[in-house]
Chain A
Amino acid sequence: MAKMTLEELKKLRESKKRELEKREITGKDIEIIVGMATCGIAAGAKQTLSAFLNELEAQNLSNVLVRQTGCMGYCYAEPTVEIRMPGMPDIIYGKVDPETAVKIVRKHILGKVLINDHILDKPAADIMKK
Chain B
Amino acid sequence: MAFKSYVLVCGGTACQSSKSDEIYKNFITELEAAGIKEDVQVVKTGCFGFCEKGPIVKVLPDESFYVEVNPTDAKEIVAEHLVKGRQVKRLLYQGEETKKHAKVEDIAFYQKQFRIVLRNCGVINPEDINEYIARDGYAALEKVLFEMTPDQVINELKISGLRGRGGAGFPTWLKWNFTKQVNDSPKYIVCNADEGDPGAYMDRSTIEGDPHSILEAMIIAGKTIGSNKGYIYIRAEYPLAIHRLDIAIKQAKELGLLGKDILGSGFDFDIELRLGAGAFVCGEETALLASIEGERGMPKPRPPFPAVKGLWQKPTVINNVETWANIPVIILRGGAWFANIGTEKSKGTKVFALTGKIRNSGLVEVPMGTTLREIIYDIGGGIINGKKFKAVQTGGPSGGVITAEYLDTPIDYENLQKLGSIMGSGGMIVMDEDDCMVDIAKFYLGFTVDESCGKCAPCRVGGRQLLNYLDKISKGKATRDDITKMRQIGNAMKRASLCGLGQTAPNPVLSTLTYFEKEYLAHIDDRTCPAGKCKDLITYSILPEKCIGCGLCARRCPVNCITGEKRQPHVIDRSACIKCGECYSVCKFGAVVRK
User: Direct A–B touching in the complex (beta carbon < 8 Å)?
Assistant: yes
CA of A10 to CA of B61 in the docked complex: distance in angstroms? 34
Contact A3 B256 (CB under 8 A): yes
Instruction: Specify which of B120, B124, B241, B365 is in contact with A73 (CB 8 Å cutoff).
Output: B365
B365: chain A residues within 8 A (beta carbon): 73
- Any A CB within 8 A of the CB of B177: no
Contact A120 B45 (CB under 8 A): yes
Instruction: Specify which of A2, A9, A37 is in contact with B240 (CB 8 Å cutoff).
Output: A37
- Measured CB to CB, the nearest residue on chain B to A19 is B134
Instruction: Specify which of A3, A6, A125 is in contact with B110 (CB 8 Å cutoff).
Output: A125
- Any A CB within 8 A of the CB of B525: no
0/1 per residue, B176-216, Cβ < 8 Å to A? 00000000000000000000000001001110111000000
A6: chain B residues within 8 A (beta carbon): 142, 145-146, 263-265
A17: chain B residues within 8 A (beta carbon): 134
A114-B41, A127-B115 known; A70 vs B205 contact (CB < 8 Å): yes
Report the tally of A-B residue pairs with Cβ distances under 8 A: 180
Instruction: Specify which of B110, B137, B209 is in contact with A124 (CB 8 Å cutoff).
Output: B110
For the complex, would chain A's binding face be called helix, strand, loop or mixed by DSSP majority? loop
- Measured CB to CB, the nearest residue on chain B to A10 is B142
Contact B210 A70 (CB under 8 A): yes
Within 8 A of B (CB), among A1-34: 1-6, 9-10, 12-13, 16-17, 19-20, 33
CA of A111 to CA of B105 in the docked complex: distance in angstroms? 28
- Measured CB to CB, the nearest residue on chain A to B126 is A70
Contact A127 B116 (CB under 8 A): yes
Contact A12 B43 (CB under 8 A): no
Q: How many B residues face the partner with a CB closer than 8 A?
A: 72
Contact A4 B257 (CB under 8 A): yes
CA of A128 to CA of B137 in the docked complex: distance in angstroms? 10
- Measured CB to CB, the nearest residue on chain B to A119 is B45
- Any A CB within 8 A of the CB of B223: no
Q: How many A residues face the partner with a CB closer than 8 A?
A: 56
Instruction: Specify which of B43, B122, B209 is in contact with A115 (CB 8 Å cutoff).
Output: B43
- Measured CB to CB, the nearest residue on chain B to A17 is B134
A74: chain B residues within 8 A (beta carbon): 360, 362
Within 8 A of A (CB), among B23-63: 41, 43-46, 48, 60-61, 63
- Any B CB within 8 A of the CB of A51: no
A12: chain B residues within 8 A (beta carbon): 130, 133
CA of A70 to CA of B43 in the docked complex: distance in angstroms? 26
Contact B6 A89 (CB under 8 A): yes
Contact B131 A16 (CB under 8 A): yes
Contact A127 B119 (CB under 8 A): yes
Contact B1 A69 (CB under 8 A): no
Within the complex, the shortest CB–CB distance from A22 to chain B, in Å, comes to 11
Contact B6 A75 (CB under 8 A): no
Contact A4 B255 (CB under 8 A): yes
Within the complex, the shortest CB–CB distance from B423 to chain A, in Å, comes to 19
Instruction: Specify which of B125, B131, B133, B363 is in contact with A71 (CB 8 Å cutoff).
Output: B363
B126: chain A residues within 8 A (beta carbon): 68-70
- Measured CB to CB, the nearest residue on chain B to A73 is B363
A72: chain B residues within 8 A (beta carbon): 121-122
Contact A41 B240 (CB under 8 A): yes
A89: chain B residues within 8 A (beta carbon): 6, 60-61
CA of A6 to CA of B267 in the docked complex: distance in angstroms? 13
- Any A CB within 8 A of the CB of B127: yes
0/1 per residue, B89-131, Cβ < 8 Å to A? 0000000000000001100001101111011111111110011
- Any A CB within 8 A of the CB of B139: yes
- Measured CB to CB, the nearest residue on chain A to B146 is A6
- Any B CB within 8 A of the CB of A126: yes
- Any A CB within 8 A of the CB of B576: no
Within 8 A of B (CB), among A102-130: 112-128
B205: chain A residues within 8 A (beta carbon): 37-39, 70-71, 73
Contact A9 B263 (CB under 8 A): yes
- Any A CB within 8 A of the CB of B135: yes
CA of A120 to CA of B46 in the docked complex: distance in angstroms? 5
Contact A114 B122 (CB under 8 A): no
CA of A36 to CA of B211 in the docked complex: distance in angstroms? 13
A4: chain B residues within 8 A (beta carbon): 255-257, 263
- Measured CB to CB, the nearest residue on chain A to B381 is A76
- Any A CB within 8 A of the CB of B521: no
A37: chain B residues within 8 A (beta carbon): 121, 204-205, 208-209, 240
Instruction: Specify which of A112, A124, A127 is in contact with B329 (CB 8 Å cutoff).
Output: A127
A37-B240, A69-B122, A69-B209 known; A75 vs B46 contact (CB < 8 Å): no
B208: chain A residues within 8 A (beta carbon): 36-38, 70-71
What are some 29 contacts across the A-B interface (CB < 8 A)?
A: A3-B254, A3-B256, A3-B259, A36-B240, A37-B121, A37-B204, A38-B201, A38-B238, A39-B205, A70-B120, A70-B121, A70-B126, A71-B205, A71-B209, A73-B118, A73-B122, A77-B360, A94-B46, A95-B46, A113-B41, A119-B8, A124-B110, A124-B115, A124-B122, A125-B105, A125-B114, A126-B123, A127-B114, A127-B115
The 6 nearest A-B residue pairs measured at CB: A70-B209, A3-B256, A72-B122, A16-B134, A119-B45, A71-B205
